[in-house]
Amino acid sequence: MQQRRPSPKFLTGDLGILELDAGRYVPTCGGVVPRRVQEHIEAEGGLGGTTVLAWFGGPPYGYTAAVVKACVAGLLRAGKLRIQPDGGAEITAVRDAGVKDLFDKDRSFRRASYFPAEDDDIGFQARARICVFFEKQLDHRMDREDHAIADAVSRLFPAQARRLRDVFGCIDQLPGRPKPPAALAELQDVLEAAVAKSRHTKPTVQLLKRKLDGLRDGIQKLNIYDAELTQPAIQAVRRLATGRDHQLAQLRALGPLEAEVATAGEQITAQLQTERPWRDITAVDPDLECVCAAYRAERGRLLRWQEAQAEQARGRVKARDGFATLTADNSHKVQKPINREQTDTTIEAMAPALVELRDPFLVRLQRAEAEANAILDELLSDKKLIVTVNLGLRGREVTNAAEVEALVNEVRERLLEKVVNGARVRLV
């Protein structure tokens, strides 16, 4: 950015605040007046604004307030003094918050205190490293001066913070919402702190000096994640996680896996456990297809098995005496409980789970068959009463001929009692 051309009176004579060096205006403060202001403040170890104006406004100097303020501004720009405003944060550069009010308002200037600049605790090498970081990582070249560094932070870091928030949003879309890498978490802290301090020059540069290594590592990591973590990459990871968390998990719940499927599952799990699972994710596409194919085959087998079990249940009900005499509507009514228990799904679906298609289905089918028989009993009872009898023989023991004979007589009596009374007996 081209510098604004200053008034010639700042360049020559006793004022001599600025010098032109290689096309740039440099605040050397080599003139008589600014040197006198600097030396007096240094000799006193610091002065209030009213005292500074009174000292140089009176004899033997007789400088106007505007001249004194211009010298103070030049010394501040040259880093040769610091200012403590009344009730505000310390000012070490002309870009700091509060500078405009300080020089525009006579009261603010008078109530502030002016001190010699402190020893440089940042150093040339640190500033050079900071400027190299901006040039290499953010493609921004600048002078190795504190105000230029703080200006760069103010201009460039908010955009980096927005990029980082976007990357965090992408990470949140990954399965399991993994924690961001430590380098990105540290970068977030540094960016936020630097932006918050950026209106105050020296604290900003001090922060960069302390956090430069983490800042560099974080920006490098941010560049990688920002470039790689695209929506197609996120979708690829989510598909792989679905294969692991649904198809593979359901196959494992049924029992031991075939060797090929087990190996494919291990490859999928290993890929998802890497720091950046989207990298080279296409390498496990064959493994994912192996797992999904095994899942579809098993789901199809279970659905065919369900159909076979339901057909057997329907066959047992149809084999009962009297079923053949039913109308089509009543036949459908009897078979409806069995028909509804078959799972309405496809081989691609993930719900209900594979284990739900097996053992729980048998329990439901048994209840449905009992319900179908009960409906058939009711329909046939118009012709002859049908009663169900549970003999309760399951688990009962007999140890000799007499006990066998007694059990047979007991069963005979219970059944004859119903039959003699004109009922048809169905054992359950």
Between β-strands 424-427 and 386-389, what pairing exists: parallel, antiparallel or unpaired?
parallel
Residue 280 forms part of a structural domain: yes
Q: Are residues 25 and 64 in the same domain?
A: yes
Contact 100, 107 (CB under 8 A): no
**How many domains are there within the chain?**
4
Residue 60 forms part of a structural domain: yes
Last residue of a domain, one of 94, 116, 138: 116
Burial class of 162 by CB neighbour count within 10 A (0 to 12, 13 to 18, 19+): exposed
Q: Are residues 64 and 104 in the same domain?
A: yes
Q: Are residues 167 and 203 in the same domain?
A: yes
CA distance 73 to 81: 9
What's at 60, amino acid-wise? P
Q: Which structural domain range is residue 99 located in?
A: 8-116
Instruction: Give, in order, the Cα–Cα distances in Å from 60 to each of 38, 57, 63, 179.
Output: 17, 8, 9, 69
Show pLDDT as tens, one digit a residue, over the chain (428 residues).
445 667 667 766 667 887 776 667 778 888 888 989 999 988 888 889 999 999 999 999 999 999 999 999 999 888 888 888 988 888 888 888 888 999 999 999 999 988 888 877 888 899 999 999 999 999 999 988 888 999 999 999 999 999 999 999 999 999 999 999 999 999 999 999 999 988 888 899 999 999 999 999 999 999 999 999 999 999 999 999 999 999 999 999 999 999 999 999 999 999 999 999 999 999 999 999 999 999 999 999 999 999 999 999 999 999 988 898 889 999 999 999 999 998 888 999 999 999 999 889 999 999 999 999 889 888 887 655 566 667 777 777 778 888 778 777 777 777 776 666 666 666 66
| Phi, psi angle pair for 361, to nearest 5° | -65, -40
CA distance 37 to 47: 11
Last residue of a domain, one of 72, 100, 116: 116
Q: Are residues 109 and 135 in the same domain?
A: no
Q: Are residues 96 and 18 in the same domain?
A: yes
| Phi, psi angle pair for 374, to nearest 5° | -65, -40
Q: Are residues 220 and 134 in the same domain?
A: yes
Q: Are residues 77 and 144 in the same domain?
A: no
Whole-model pTM?
0.69
Q: Are residues 207 and 224 in the same domain?
A: yes
Residue 358 forms part of a structural domain: no
Q: Which helix (H) or strand (E) holds 84?
A: strand 81-84
Residue 417 forms part of a structural domain: yes
Residue 240 forms part of a structural domain: yes
Q: Are residues 193 and 100 in the same domain?
A: no
Residue 301 forms part of a structural domain: no
Q: Are residues 67 and 108 in the same domain?
A: yes
Termini Cα distance of the chain: 96
Q: Are residues 420 and 404 in the same domain?
A: yes
Residue 267 forms part of a structural domain: yes
Q: Are residues 112 and 12 in the same domain?
A: yes
Q: State the CB neighbour count (10 A cutoff) for residue 105.
A: 11
